[in-house]
Each structure stands twice: as structure tokens, then as C-alpha cells.
Amino acid sequence: MKSAAILPQEGTLKGVDLGIAGEFAILSKTGVTNVYKSSVVGDVGSSPITGAAVLVSCAEVVGTIYTVDAAGPLPCRVTNATRLGTAVLNMQAAYSDAAGRVNPDFLNLGAGNIGGKTLTPGLYKWTSALVIPTDITISGSPTDVWIFQVAGTLNMSSAVNMILEGGALAKNIFWVSSGAVTVGTTSHFEGIIMSQTGINLKTGASINGRMLAQNAVTLQMNAVSQPE
């Protein structure tokens, strides 16, 4: 049964400026692996690693695949090392901004287990890993902002859903994890994932948001849609 909504302290939380990184559905520094067939709506890019490390196919992406060079079998690619370099710098700056926010409204909520909870707008901080074993609801208006700071891994179990309520928008939800982020088999995720490590979507998982990883992004027959 869903828990009662948790109310934040007073104050307006500002969103995170993603810069050019906010124009990518998937952006990584060390490549994008993939088990066919995934579906990505939005741009994909990786830098500084070679284009041979971007393993989604042209047919799987509705958007532009950017690489730093012409390596690898991607006839549809656009080679633009300058744009990718700027996007990666913007991604790192956005991570530093979001991870550095102070005075959280909620500290170590649920002792690192937020299954079943309804999360209202605000700044959340966990000083260790975070797990999402059952469905959660993110509730607020279209102008509200959520920042979730995780000083460890973020693991979402299989067959779990994030549900948006009250007009909440994925583009205003920021998951900031120093460890790897894993979305379980057939689960659905909402928001912008910014990981200092990697992001791993298990078989059949989906995300309405962006995956911005300072390591690799791993896809396994997933659906990725950038938020509107």
C-alpha cells in the first residue's frame, strides 16, 4: 500500500542546467553497449572514446548518433568531436551542481529504501546506496523540481514502475548517483539520470528521461525516450 505523501521544507528548488548535454537522450564517456533491439528517441553520443564503442544501430535511434571519429559501422553517424566534448563538460558540470546542493529537505529517507513511497518536490540525500524494490510515485506540479542525491549505487528491482502524478514532469526530476545505476528487467524509470559511474538498463526496461553517464551506458532491448 502506498505511503502518505512526504512534505518538503519551504523554499523553491531550482532545476539543473544540463547545457548541451540536455540535448542528448544518451551521453557517455566510455561507450554505449546494446543487445538488439532497443529503441531510442533522442540523440546519442559518446566522448572521448572512439565511435567503435557506440553499438546502437542506425535503425534503433530516432535522432542523431554523434561520435568523435569515423570508427565503427555506423553509416548514419555525425562526427563532431567538438560538440561531444562540450556536451561531456556540461554533463560533468551539471553533475557537480546537482551533487553539491546543500541543506536537503530529506536525509536518508527510508534508510535507503523508498519502495512504496510518494515523493513530493524537494532535495533528497542518501549517504549510502538507494534501492527501489516496489513502485514509487513522484507527485507535484509541472513546475516542481526533484533532486535525488545518492552517495552510492542506485538499484531499481525488476517489474517496478515510477509513476508521475499531479502534472510532474520527467525533465524536472534529477537522479544524481556517485555509483552505478541499474534499472531492473521490465521496470520503468522517470527522470534525468546523472551517474558518476555507469548506467545499466536490464532486459526490457524503459526510461522517460535522459541517461548521462561518466562511464558506459548498457542497453538490453530497452525503450528510451527523451522527456518533452
Instruction: With respect to residue 14, please indicate whether it lies within any of the assigned structural domains.
Output: no
Instruction: With respect to residue 6, please indicate whether it lies within any of the assigned structural domains.
Output: no
Residue 3 above 90 pLDDT?
no
Percent of the chain with pLDDT over 70: 95
Residue 153: closest CA among 123, 130, 176: 130
For the entire predicted model, the pTM comes to 0.94
Q: pLDDT tens digits for 24-80?
A: 999 999 999 999 999 999 999 999 999 999 999 999 999 999 999 999 999 999 999
Instruction: With respect to residue 187, please indicate whether it lies within any of the assigned structural domains.
Output: yes
Instruction: With respect to residue 35, please indicate whether it lies within any of the assigned structural domains.
Output: yes
Residue 188 above 70 pLDDT?
yes
* Mean pLDDT calculated for residue range 8-29: 88
Instruction: With respect to residue 211, please indicate whether it lies within any of the assigned structural domains.
Output: yes
Number of domains in the chain: 1
Residue ranges making up the domain that contains 138: 19-225
- Whole-Å CA distances, 21 to 30, 42, 76, 86, 126: 15, 12, 20, 8, 25
pLDDT of res. 9 = 43
Residue 88: closest CA among 215, 221, 188: 215
pLDDT of res. 131 = 98
Instruction: With respect to residue 7, please indicate whether it lies within any of the assigned structural domains.
Output: no
Residue 107 above 50 pLDDT?
yes
Instruction: With respect to residue 104, please indicate whether it lies within any of the assigned structural domains.
Output: yes
